[in-house]
Amino acid sequence: MTENYCPQLTCISRAELVSSLSHALDMTEGQSEGHGVRCAWIGLNIGRQAGMPDHELANLYYTLLLKDIGCSSNAARICELYLADDLSFKRDIKSVNDSLPQILRFVLSHTGMKAGMSERFRSLLTIVTQGGQIARELIETRCQRGAEIVRRMRFPEEVARGILDLDEHWDGHGKPMSLAGTGISLYSRIALIAQVVDVFHTSEGKEAALKEVRQRAGGWFDPALVTAFEAAATQLGFWSVLASKNLQQTIISLAPEEKGEMMDEDYLDEVAAAFAQVVDSKSPFTAGHSDRVALFADMIAEEMKLSAETRRFLKRAALLHDLGKLGVSNQILDKAGKLTDEEWASVRHHPTQSRMILSRIGAFQELSRIAGDHHERLDGKGYPRGIKGEEISLETRIITVADIFDALTAERPYRSAMPVSKALEILRGDVGCAVDERCFKALETALGRLESVAA
């Protein structure tokens, strides 16, 4: 991208944006790619069979795509309590019902499997004695954070409520509020069925999904909605479309009419900030990281006299640069010791994931490349592509400097935060090989000006 050039992004629809970004939420839940989009297909068909009017189907549409938007917020806590990989934990727990033997088997097979015997025993003891309270805490954190984020994205309160009630059960034995029957949001009741259908259909097939839903009718699920699902499941094309590689385009084509809700630059900023919050919520060590990288990147861009439009575009890229970290386990992100080769490979894959998710959005092609290249180096020794020199855009170079600076000056599990002077000294040593000299000098000048104002 040339300096002071910024592509127009307002041609994107809200449905394309949200359905594409839902793939990031699939990662943080340990689900296979497209889980959110498949749930949207299943849930919309249930809603139609149940006779929901168009305005309710519109709210259901976005509830289904965004149902997991708060899930990153409890990842670190799961690792801490269960001494487990949060991604596999979240993936596997969706196959567990309320049966005590199933719950016990799950806890025993997912708690501290790589920990020492004494650590595992202490963890199991805590879970056995405080299991109900722990589960309630984890679900409440996730649901409340999810509701907060969708409100920030300008969705109506009905969508926020749909996310708040996602883990409530028809019989009143769900969490966190133990709501029952029609006291639970209709959107939540449908989303929970859709989620279970997709999990069992993906892992075991159509018959297993049908069997599981029938068994949970009257317990987890509203019996009338189970009947609606069974009717939908007999419709021509229901299962074949669900398995189609073009399902996302189908879902986009089914998007509700956005009456008076035009996509604009401010909305794109809000969505970028919301998903940055999702990413940064995953680990206590990354809290606020994306916001700070966006701030430092903007300071550099301003010092370099880039246009306001380019700076705005750059801030979005900075906010979304770490989207792929949602697919990295907190056992790796929060590890205090040295990473194994396998763990390091997982970390090195996150820029590729960021790029893959953002590239699903037609108007985000340039942004996806910038975000995906932020760990590349001028000398070609970066990752994931190993590109070098002029192959790395100016915008990427700016984000790279901002990202490294924030990483050095923030607390990390393996070291304390560095003073600004020490961080700048390290960056200065990397000029020409890892980082761009112009970008480094712009940051140094901007920080110096900030320090003089503060003094």
Decide: 189 and 50 in contact? Cβ < 8 Å.
no
Positive or negative: CA dihedral 42, 47, 49, 54: negative
In the residue annotation, 305 being an active-site residue is answered as: no
Query: 143: Cβ–Cβ under 8 A, 6 or more apart, which residues?
Result: 70, 163, 164, 165, 166, 167, 176
DSSP summary character for residue 140 = H
Decide: 59 and 116 in contact? Cβ < 8 Å.
no
In angstroms, rounded to a whole number, what is the distance separating the alpha carbons of residues 58 and 40? 11
Would you tell me how many other CB atoms lie within 10 Å of the CB of residue 81? 19
**Token digits for 24?**
């990031």
**Which residue has 């990989």 as its token pair?**
85
Residue type, 181: G
- H or E segment and range at residue 25: helix 14-28
**Token digits for 237?**
């094309």
Q: Which of 447, 312, 290 is nearest to 374 (CA)?
A: 290
Among candidate residues 67, 175, 315, 325, the one labeled active-site is 325
Q: Which of 316, 352, 377, 264 is nearest to 6 (CA)?
A: 316
Helix 437-454 crosses helix 420-429 at what angle (to 10 degrees)?
160
In angstroms, rounded to a whole number, what is the distance separating the alpha carbons of residues 368 and 248? 18
Compute the 3-state secondary structure of the chain and give helix, strand, coil in percent, each to the nearest 5.
65, 0, 30
Cis peptide before 176 (omega within 30 of 0): yes
Q: Which of 187, 184, 229, 226 is nearest to 57 (CA)?
A: 187
Length reported for the chain: 455
Ramachandran assignment for 333, one of left (phi > 0), alpha (psi -120 to 50 degrees), beta (any other): alpha
Would you tell me how many other CB atoms lie within 10 Å of the CB of residue 141? 17
In angstroms, rounded to a whole number, what is the distance separating the alpha carbons of residues 440 and 438? 6
**Which residue has 């998903």 as its token pair?**
275
Q: 115 in helix, strand or coil?
A: coil
Query: 290: Cβ–Cβ under 8 A, 6 or more apart, which residues?
Result: 276, 277, 279, 280, 318, 319, 320, 321, 322
Question: Annotated active-site positions, please?
Answer: 325
